[in-house]
Chain A
Amino acid sequence: MAFDYDKYIRPGKLPHIWCPGCGHGIVMKGLIRAIDTLGLEKNNTAIVSGIGCASRLPGYLDFCTLHTAHGRAAAFATGVKMARPEMNVICVGGDGDGTAIGGNHFIHACRRNINMTYIVMNNNIYGMTGGQFSPCTPTGAKASTTPYGNPDPAFDVAKLAIGAGATFVARGTAYHATQIDKLIVEAVQHKGFSVVEILDDCPTTYGRRNKFKSVIEMMNRLKDIAVPVKAAEKMTPEQLQGKIITGVLFKEERPEYTAEYAKVIERAKGGK
């Protein structure tokens, strides 16, 4: 049976702005299926983004949606969550938005372990501005501002999140469409700050410059480099060279921020 995405999409907002073959639409579908599985109430769910291609996502969805400034999604979302801890808060955005200009907000949201989910749609490039290199562009890759190849090393978003204190970190890809909603479901159910990195493709500004002949080739590359966590455990570092590990990479229980602040309120009211 066809999945009824229309139930969650604002009337008249499609087609979306993303280019042919951009995986952002696949991620948005995964997010919608996850929300459906979780049964999140529209009025009680905020979807917050920054600026960039991926950050246009909230506008399509029929929830409380907040399209903020470049990099600031996690900080705005923190304000929403503090004011109304009962709301479900989901941030979405790209790799440049989340880990460059918004890097500070991202790591501190991880550290605080505030109960929200941050979906990083990592396509290794600044797409909306025309393909400049991001902190997630691989070394050596071509971008509009690295015509001789990228001299910068890249962030591993999942490792960054784990290092900063996120208590649930998962990774999927735009190719592994059925896995996306499963990871998001688990992330949202987790009490604390959860990060889901989805490796995505930007055929227009990244693929074109980096010798990918088609969208299909980019999708197949995601299939080829992905190694599930369980399989990766049996592989040597040499075998894992050039691969990315997918699935739930990290999970731990740690006091959640809004719950801790509720205790602050109790102490303050009790005069302690």
Chain B
Amino acid sequence: MAKKVAFLQGNEAAAQGALYAGCKFFAGYPITPSTEVAEVLSAELPKIGGKFIQMEDEIAAMAAVIGGSLAGSKALTATSGPGLSLKQELIGYACIAETPVVIVNVMRGGPSTGMPTGPSQSDVMSAKWGTHGDHPAICLVPASVQELFEETVRAFNLAEKYRTPVMVMPDEIVAHMRERIVFPEPGELEVIDRTAPSVPPEQYKPYDTKFGDVPPLAAFGSGYRFHVTGLNKMDDGFPTTKAAVVQAEEERQVRKVDANIDDIVKFEEYMLDDAEVAVVAFGSTSRSARFAVNEARKQGIKAGLFRIKTFWPFPEKQIKALSSKVKALITPEMNLGMCTVEVRRCAEGKAPVHGIFRVDGEPINPGQILDKIKEVK
């Protein structure tokens, strides 16, 4: 049977991806340019017995998805820059309480209200450094409607697998563009559910490291009673200030991601085998970059593209290797150098890193990138 094909908007694909992953709960607050995610799920979730709720503010929406997840539902919220700033408080809560949730954050111009309908890629640092304290961060940056669907599924998988919040961050262009999408059949993409406890309720501890760095998570109302707090906690979930326990717990939480980088980090290498100039890009900017690389090749310039699909954890190892192979790196991005800083850090001075920055609400076009390729080749 032929697969279902549709002409879909990015945000709609994110919503469909969430449903494919088994999302049963959405809480949100209206914000441009992410509202279509909420709109689709307000219609689709109740059809499958799922729940949609529009909350009183961004913080409440984040709180509700954490509550819903603790009660056993795969949960999603969607927002954009100013909303992400508000949600940071409880993103930290989800990190320390180790609660799987997915946040779709559509990147618009900022700071503050900025340019609500203009695209940007300037929330990528917020995804890692936005909430206070040390914590794990996973952030996926899809570049097409198809990928937004698939990466939303993967975001749920990573959230469930590592018991941590995961962000999917399309820029406004990817979120609002319409493209052909081929829906995967049920079972075609892997769908991961959190590990349920194997011990009886009286032996259950919500952060029992006997079961590894990602302890099983029971649901409220499933026969298991336990305590959840935003304070530093012990294996039984109760607060502690014992130095050794706090240190070990903090390190374990970060290690959940750091020790699994190869499982989490995804990227695409395009024409890099013999490349002398490598463009490192993500999201819609990577589409312009691919076009520019193709044009450069036509003109005899050995250019290639390293496309970042997982922004956090950052593909350090790959960028480091790339920087010792090429003469120069180019980092086009719709912000004033956030990815560039990371690439420069990973390059360790082995190759110069040339940024192309745009924050005027216009996409970076292939011509700009091609000009830079020619300039630095």
- Expressed in whole angstroms, the Cα–Cα distance for A105 and B224 within the complex equals 27
B223 touching A43 by the CB < 8 A rule?
Answer: yes
Whether A72 contacts B90 in the complex (CB less than 8 A), given A63-B225, A265-B46, comes out as yes
Please give me the residue from chain A that is nearest to B47 by CB atom.
Answer: A268
Contact residue among B75, B220, B221, B230 (Cβ-Cβ distance under 8 Å from A68): B230
B221 touching A75 by the CB < 8 A rule?
Answer: no
Please give me the residue from chain B that is nearest to A42 by CB atom.
Answer: B225
Whether A65 contacts B228 in the complex (CB less than 8 A), given A46-B220, A79-B71, A87-B220, comes out as yes
Nearest 5 pairs of A and B residues by beta carbon: A79-B67, A75-B63, A79-B64, A268-B46, A83-B71
A82 touching B64 by the CB < 8 A rule?
Answer: yes
A67 touching B228 by the CB < 8 A rule?
Answer: yes
Instruction: Decide yes or no whether B93 CB sits under 8 A from chain A.
Output: yes
B225 touching A66 by the CB < 8 A rule?
Answer: no
Interface residues of B in 188-246 (CB under 8 A from A): 201, 220-231, 238-239
Q: Which B residues are CB-close (under 8 A) to A77?
A: 67
Chain B contact residue count (CB 8 A cutoff): 45
Instruction: Decide yes or no whether A69 CB sits under 8 A from chain B.
Output: yes
Q: What is B's interface to A at a CB cutoff of 8 Å? A: 24-25, 27, 43, 46-47, 49, 51, 53, 55-57, 59-61, 63-73, 75, 89-90, 93, 201, 220-231, 238-239
Instruction: Decide yes or no whether A80 CB sits under 8 A from chain B.
Output: yes
- Expressed in whole angstroms, the Cα–Cα distance for A261 and B64 within the complex equals 15
Q: Which B residues are CB-close (under 8 A) to A79?
A: 25, 27, 53, 63-71, 75
Whether A75 contacts B220 in the complex (CB less than 8 A), given A83-B67, A83-B71, comes out as no
Q: Which A residues are CB-close (under 8 A) to B225?
A: 42-43, 62-65
Q: Which A residues are CB-close (under 8 A) to B223?
A: 43
Q: Which A residues are CB-close (under 8 A) to B25?
A: 79, 82-83
Instruction: Decide yes or no whether A40 CB sits under 8 A from chain B.
Output: no
- Expressed in whole angstroms, the Cα–Cα distance for A44 and B75 within the complex equals 20
| Given A46-B220, A58-B227, A72-B63, 9 further pairs, Cβ under 8 A | A43-B224, A43-B225, A51-B230, A59-B239, A62-B225, A66-B67, A75-B64, A76-B67, A104-B60
CB proximity of B57 to chain A, nearest CB, Å: 6
Please give me the residue from chain A that is nearest to B26 by CB atom.
Answer: A82
CB proximity of A57 to chain B, nearest CB, Å: 12
B71 touching A72 by the CB < 8 A rule?
Answer: no
A105 touching B46 by the CB < 8 A rule?
Answer: no
Whether A83 contacts B73 in the complex (CB less than 8 A), given A66-B67, A68-B93, A105-B63, comes out as yes
Residue from A44, A75, A108 whose CB has the most chain B CB atoms within 10 Å: A75
Q: Which B residues are CB-close (under 8 A) to A63?
A: 225
Please give me the residue from chain B that is nearest to A104 by CB atom.
Answer: B56
Instruction: Decide yes or no whether A269 CB sits under 8 A from chain B.
Output: yes
Instruction: Decide yes or no whether A221 CB sits under 8 A from chain B.
Output: no
A67 touching B75 by the CB < 8 A rule?
Answer: no
CB proximity of A88 to chain B, nearest CB, Å: 10
- Expressed in whole angstroms, the Cα–Cα distance for A78 and B51 within the complex equals 11
Please give me the residue from chain B that is nearest to A107 by CB atom.
Answer: B56
